[in-house]
């Protein structure tokens, strides 16, 4: 069964999500947290993945962060503090429906958000999965070493100086200077050290948005972590069906084991 829902954050915004649930009873639910500039479909791969999770007996909530998709808020006002509020609201929505065995998938920027959230709210989660997570904001955004933003760094800096905001991504997603300022003092890779629950990282070696080398290095910060390498995989896994299948199956196997 699929149902569109709306729920409130503690700071008063209304977020939009899609519940997909199996026919039988289950106490197990998985929240899917998308990356920056996209939405709850995650370029289509979350839309494909949700029914597979349901077929394996899990309820699934995928939702739009503030300033994305059908949720309230302007993208230019988005902050890390704000998206952490959003993730908390989504998990409260899950708990309100009676699910008490909960897993979380975070993709890209949503992977960093998921790691930060899990590091201080572990009691809400049984296990955590991170797809190509941007664990080092410096490497992905501030001083990017991948092609996604590397040649746009000076343009973004100039925009921030002149008008306080800029755009990123193919859809010209607007972000405020305050988001980059916030990133300078937040280190998701350090947050991994505080996470005790089983954590899976899935990352492609040809990712040109988030460096694969970051996941290779930072998985060592996890007490109970594992890295699944998708050889030649690109960012998000949606461009190649075989790569997407590897990521999805590894994640399903992980949740069947730990959730």
CA pseudo-torsion sign 39, 44, 45, 50: positive
C-alpha span between 10 and 89 (Å, rounded): 7
Residue 39 has pLDDT above 90, yes or no: yes
pLDDT score for 232: 97
CA dihedral 69, 187, 146, 217 (to 10 degrees): -120
Minimal CA–CA distance to 131: which of 255, 230, 65? 230
Beta-bridge mates of residue 106: 33, 130
pLDDT score for 213: 98
pLDDT score for 136: 99
Q: How far is CA 228 from CA 69, 139, 148, 202, 232, in A?
A: 29, 21, 23, 5, 12
Residue 170 has pLDDT above 90, yes or no: no
Region 107-116 average pLDDT: 99
What is the chain's alpha carbon radius of gyration, rounded to the nearest angstrom? 17
Minimal CA–CA distance to 169: which of 198, 195, 148, 197? 148
The DSSP code sequence of 81-139 is HHHHHHHHHHHHHHHHTT--EEEEEEETHHHHHHHHHHHH-GGG-SEEEEES----HII
What are the tens digits of pLDDT across the range 74-100?
999 999 999 999 999 999 999 999 999
Average pLDDT for the chain: 98
SS3 of residue 160 by DSSP: helix
Q: How far is CA 100 from CA 104, 191, 259, in A?
A: 13, 24, 10
User: What percent of the chain shows pLDDT beyond 70?
Assistant: 100
pLDDT score for 192: 99
Residue 176 has pLDDT above 90, yes or no: yes
Angle of helix 45-55 versus helix 241-258 axis, rounded to 10: 40
C-alpha span between 216 and 205 (Å, rounded): 10
Residue 118 has pLDDT above 90, yes or no: yes
Q: Which CATH number among 1.10.600.10, 3.40.50.150, 3.40.50.1820, 3.30.910.20 corresponds to the domain 2-136+188-258?
A: 3.40.50.1820
| Residue 33 pLDDT grade (very low, low, confident, very high; cuts 50, 70, 90) | very high
Indicate the domain borders of the chain: 2-136+188-258
User: Quick one: tokens of 101?
Assistant: 């065995």
Residue 48 has pLDDT above 90, yes or no: yes
pLDDT score for 122: 83
What are the tens digits of pLDDT across the range 16-25?
999 999 999 9
| Residue 108 pLDDT grade (very low, low, confident, very high; cuts 50, 70, 90) | very high
Region 168-193 average pLDDT: 97
pLDDT score for 21: 98
């Amino acid at each position: 069964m699929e149902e569109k829902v709306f729920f409130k954050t503690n700071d008063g915004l209304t977020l939009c999500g899609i519940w997909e649930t199996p026919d039988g009873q289950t106490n197990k639910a998985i929240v899917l947290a998308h990356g920056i500039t996209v939405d709850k479909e995650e370029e289509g791969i979350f839309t494909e993945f949700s029914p597979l999770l349901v077929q394996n007996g899990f309820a699934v909530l995928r939702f739009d962060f503030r300033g994305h998709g059908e949720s309230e808020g302007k993208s230019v006002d988005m902050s890390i503090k704000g998206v952490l509020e959003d993730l908390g609201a989504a998990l409260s929505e899950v708990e309100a429906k009676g699910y008490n065995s909960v897993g979380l998938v975070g993709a890209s920027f949503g992977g960093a958000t998921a790691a930060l959230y899990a590091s201080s709210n572990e009691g809400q989660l049984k296990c955590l999965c991170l797809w190509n997570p941007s664990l080092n904001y410096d490497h992905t955004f501030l001083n990017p070493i991948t092609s996604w933003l590397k040649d746009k760094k000076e343009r973004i800096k100039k925009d921030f100086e002149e008008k306080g905001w800029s755009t990123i991504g193919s859809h010209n997603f607007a972000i405020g200077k305050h988001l980059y300022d916030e990133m300078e003092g937040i280190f998701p890779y350090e947050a991994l050290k505080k996470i005790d629950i089983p954590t899976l990282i899935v990352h492609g070696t040809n990712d040109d948005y988030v460096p694969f080398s970051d996941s290779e290095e930072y998985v060592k910060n996890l007490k109970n972590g594992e890295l699944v390498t998708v050889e030649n995989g690109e960012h998000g896994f949606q461009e190649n069906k075989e790569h997407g299948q590897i990521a999805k199956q590894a994640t399903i196997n992980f949740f069947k084991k730990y959730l």
